[in-house]
C-alpha cells in the first residue's frame, strides 16, 4: 500500500465528497502504438498482447490517495478550499494556489483505491459516466449516448488541448475506482 497524491479539478471535489464520483480515468502518459491490445492484469500489471511487454499502473488496489485541490492561502498560512467557494469569491487576503502545488499537509480528502484497469476512453458506459460524477439528466431520450456525450464534454474541458488525449482521439486510459477513505477539515 502506497500513499500518493492525485489532483482533481474544482468541479470534481464536491461529487467525490458526496459519493457521486467514485471512478476516475487518466490517460496513459505515453500512448501505445495503434493496434495495441492489452490483456488481463496480474497484481496491477497489464501486458501488451503482442510482446508480453509489461505496463505498470500508477495505482494499485489498497493504495491511499490524498486529493490535491485548488486552495487559497493567506500570508499567515491559513488555507481555504476553492471548492467551498463555488462562485469563485475568495476571502480578502488570500491568493489561489493551483492544485498541483497543494502540499500534503493541507489535504482534507483521502481515497482508497478499489480497482485499476486499462481501457480505451470511448468504452465508457452511461453507468460508468455516472460513477465519474456526471449528473443525472432530467429528460433523457437516449441515455447511453447523451450521458457519454456529456462525459466527453467534461473530458475535453480537462484534456482538450492535449494532442492524443482528447475524446475523439480515444486514448488508452487508466480506469481507477475508489472509495472515500477519510474527509477532514483540512489538516489531513
Give the pLDDT confidence score for residue 140 in this predicted structure.
66
% of the chain at pLDDT higher than 70: 86
- Give me the domain span that covers residue 176: 3-183
Give the pLDDT confidence score for residue 109 in this predicted structure.
97
In this structure, what CATH number is given to the domain that contains residue 48?
2.30.130.30
Does 188 map to a domain? no
Give the pLDDT confidence score for residue 76 in this predicted structure.
93
Structural domain count, the chain: 1
Taking the CB of residue 105, how many other CB atoms lie within 10 A of it? 10
Residue 52 has pLDDT above 60, yes or no: no
SS3 121: helix
Does 85 map to a domain? yes
User: What does the alpha-carbon distance between residue 176 and residue 148 come to, in Å, rounded to a whole number?
Assistant: 18
Give the pLDDT confidence score for residue 47 in this predicted structure.
57
The pTM score is: 0.85
Asked if residues 180 and 17 have their Cβ atoms less than 8 Å apart, the reply is: yes
Task: Describe the strand order of the beta sheet including 38-42 as a list of residue ranges.
Answer: 38-42, 45-48, 54-56
Does 65 map to a domain? yes
What are the pLDDT digits (tens) for 60-79? Answer: 999 999 999 999 999 998 99
Give the pLDDT confidence score for residue 121 in this predicted structure.
96
Measured on CA atoms in the order 70, 57, 42, 47, is the torsion positive or negative?
positive
Does 137 map to a domain? yes
Amino acid at each position: 500500500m502506497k500513499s500518493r497524491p492525485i489532483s482533481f479539478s474544482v468541479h470534481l471535489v464536491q461529487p467525490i465528497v458526496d459519493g457521486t464520483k467514485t471512478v476516475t480515468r487518466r490517460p496513459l502518459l505515453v500512448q501505445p502504438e495503434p493496434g495495441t491490445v492489452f490483456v488481463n492484469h496480474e497484481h496491477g500489471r497489464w501486458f501488451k498482447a503482442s510482446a508480453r511487454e509489461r505496463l505498470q499502473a500508477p495505482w494499485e488496489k489498497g493504495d491511499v490517495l490524498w486529493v490535491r485541490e485548488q486552495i487559497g492561502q493567506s500570508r499567515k498560512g491559513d488555507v481555504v478550499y476553492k471548492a467551498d467557494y463555488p462562485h469563485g469569491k475568495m476571502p480578502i487576503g488570500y491568493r489561489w494556489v493551483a492544485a498541483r502545488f497543494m502540499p500534503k499537509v493541507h489535504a482534507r480528502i483521502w481515497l482508497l483505491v478499489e480497482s485499476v484497469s486499462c481501457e480505451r476512453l470511448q468504452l465508457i458506459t452511461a453507468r460508468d459516466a455516472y460513477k465519474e460524477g456526471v449528473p443525472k439528466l432530467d429528460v433523457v431520450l437516449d441515455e447511453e449516448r447523451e450521458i457519454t456525450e456529456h462525459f466527453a464534454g467534461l473530458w475535453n474541458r480537462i484534456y482538450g488541448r492535449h494532442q492524443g488525449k482528447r475524446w475523439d482521439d480515444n486514448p488508452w486510459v487508466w480506469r481507477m475506482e475508489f472509495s472515500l477513505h477519510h474527509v477532514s477539515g483540512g489538516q489531513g
